[in-house]
Amino acid sequence: MAIEHNIYIHVPFCISKCNYCAFFSRADIAPDWESYTVGICDEIDYWADKLGRINVPTIFFGGGTPSLIPVSVFNKIINHISEKFNILPNCEITLESNPGTINEQKLDDFIACGMNRLSVGVQSLNDDTLKFMGRRHDVQTALNLLDIAKKKNIKLNADFIYGLPNQTTDDVIQMCKRINTLGLHHVSMYELTIEPTTPFGKMNLNMPSNNTMADMYIAIGETLNLNRYEVSNYAAPNHTCRHNENIWDGGAYIGLGVGAAGRPYFDNKWYEQTGGEIKLTPIDTKTRATEKILTGLRTTRGVLLSDDVVDIISMDFVKQNPYLININNDRLSLTDKGMLVLDSLLLELVK
């Protein structure tokens, strides 16, 4: 039997595209859910033939706007995964959502089908900012969804974006203080990245400087009442996202649907994989070890010092920079100062 694999399922449909979004998605008010379901189930069949009856510790529906998916479609996909693989009893099943696309009844129906973690794209607590970003919801709609979800026996995350045009560090601090009043156990704080193909990329925006971005990053860590466990993610104990943690730690995963990507492992080899029209490209040991370092060092627990990782790390550089890098038992992690220079550090760390 192959090793366990996490599953990522891409739901590419949105009601409309946001001004900053560079993910694979398309605005479609009436998606062909039947064709979508057939395609996802066909890919599940493909991987069942390739991997056998593997264990599945996490399933993540990302997008796009996965909360647009009909519950019947969600249920069919989960059932098909269960028919072909072993969904572990404590499997974390996440659904990304946008406020205004899911009400309490639909949330209850998703939960009845196995969903046990909801991620809500709040993005801002300012109505004018939401309009500027091209979001369809207002602040109150987002807060209402969070209030409903908090009453359910599920894990809950809220996404926010910082580093917006003309935003100041004090603006970010005030946003974090308000987030602290919401009673959340997991928050994702994403730095705005301007991609040239997006509407924002075609505007002449007055973006914060790199130094201001660094000040914002530090301020978030100092202001939020949750612990940072990855560059962009903060959580109370036992509320981290296990799906992401498994992938950051170098775990195997398959991506289902057009726009999805995976890193499956079979026949003693790692592969780079895309969903939809499935493509597989073998990855050599050094490349996969480098990927594990790139993702692992973004987390506070760091990268596991497995043999393949140790083989490509400059231990001399590690020893010469104790103020940037820590070694704790079987993991190598970055200090707070190291996190601020993560990208340049990687150039020196990897042989």
Report angle CA 336, 334, 190 to the nearest 5 degrees.
65
Amino acid at 141: T
The structure tokens 């790139």 sit at 294
| Mean pLDDT, rounded, for 104-121 | 98
Domains and CATH numbers, the chain: 6-246 (3.20.20.70), 284-351 (1.10.10)
What pLDDT, on the 0 to 100 scale, is given for residue 201?
A: 62
Percent of the chain at pLDDT exceeding 70: 92
Put simply, whether the predicted model's pTM sits higher than 0.85 gets the answer yes
Distances (CA, A) of 225 to 166, 168, 182: 25, 20, 11
Are 58 and 92 within 8 A, CB to CB?
A: yes
Q: Decide: helix, strand or coil at residue 281.
A: strand
Other Cβ atoms closer than 10 A to 132: 16
DSSP labels for 225-236? SSEEEETTEEE-
Q: Model confidence over 281-321: pLDDT tens digits?
A: 999 999 999 999 999 999 999 999 999 999 999 999 999 99
Confidence of residue 204 (pLDDT cuts 50, 70, 90): low
Average pLDDT in the chain: 92
Peptide bond into 64 cis (omega under 30): yes
Q: Is the pLDDT of residue 343 over 70?
A: yes
Q: Decide: helix, strand or coil at residue 99.
A: coil
Distances (CA, A) of 350 to 173, 293, 296, 324: 35, 8, 13, 15
| Mean pLDDT, rounded, for 3-27 | 75
The structure tokens 């104790």 sit at 322
| Mean pLDDT, rounded, for 195-208 | 67
Distance of CA 222 to the CA centre of its chain: 22
Confidence of residue 25 (pLDDT cuts 50, 70, 90): low
Percent of the chain at pLDDT exceeding 90: 81
- Identify which of 175, 198, 101, 107 has the alpha carbon closest to the alpha carbon of residue 141: 101
Peptide bond into 221 cis (omega under 30): no
Q: Model confidence over 216-234: pLDDT tens digits?
A: 999 999 999 999 999 999 9
- Identify which of 90, 141, 145 has the alpha carbon closest to the alpha carbon of residue 116: 90
Confidence of residue 27 (pLDDT cuts 50, 70, 90): low
What pLDDT, on the 0 to 100 scale, is given for residue 208?
A: 86
